[in-house]
């Protein structure tokens, strides 16, 4: 029997590959966005530090802005540096 495909529709799912399930700042799961956003994905991205800890970008930026005297990871207190992947 021969089958001729006339058309097809691809469906894909995505997820963040983070070393943790929740953001340590807002404690929402990484599958969800930070509490300030409504849709997960590119609009509410995750970022990693050089220390390998991962947060919603909006959350870590808020944390760093609230700490005028030191820029430390809220998890391990190492100096925070964005890990550009």
Looking at the Cβ atoms of 76 and 83, the one nearer to other proteins is 76
What is the pairing mode between strands 46-48 and 54-56?
antiparallel
39 near other proteins, rule: CB under 8 A: no
Q: Cβ distance 22 to 56 under 8 Å?
A: no
Looking at the Cβ atoms of 16 and 51, the one nearer to other proteins is 51
Distance CA 56, CA 30 (A): 8
Q: Cβ distance 21 to 30 under 8 Å?
A: yes
Looking at the Cβ atoms of 16 and 26, the one nearer to other proteins is 26
Q: Which residues bind other proteins (CB under 8 A)?
A: 24-28, 34-36, 59, 62-63, 66, 72, 74-75, 77
């Amino acid at each position: 029997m021969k089958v001729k495909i006339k058309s097809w529709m691809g469906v894909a799912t995505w997820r963040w590959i983070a070393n943790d399930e929740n953001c340590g700042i807002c404690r929402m799961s990484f599958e969800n966005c930070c509490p300030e956003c409504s849709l997960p994905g590119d609009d509410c991205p995750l970022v990693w530090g050089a220390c390998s800890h991962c947060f919603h970008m909006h959350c870590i930026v808020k944390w760093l802005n609230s700490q005028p005297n030191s820029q430390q990871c809220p998890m391990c207190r190492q100096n925070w540096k964005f890990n550009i992947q």
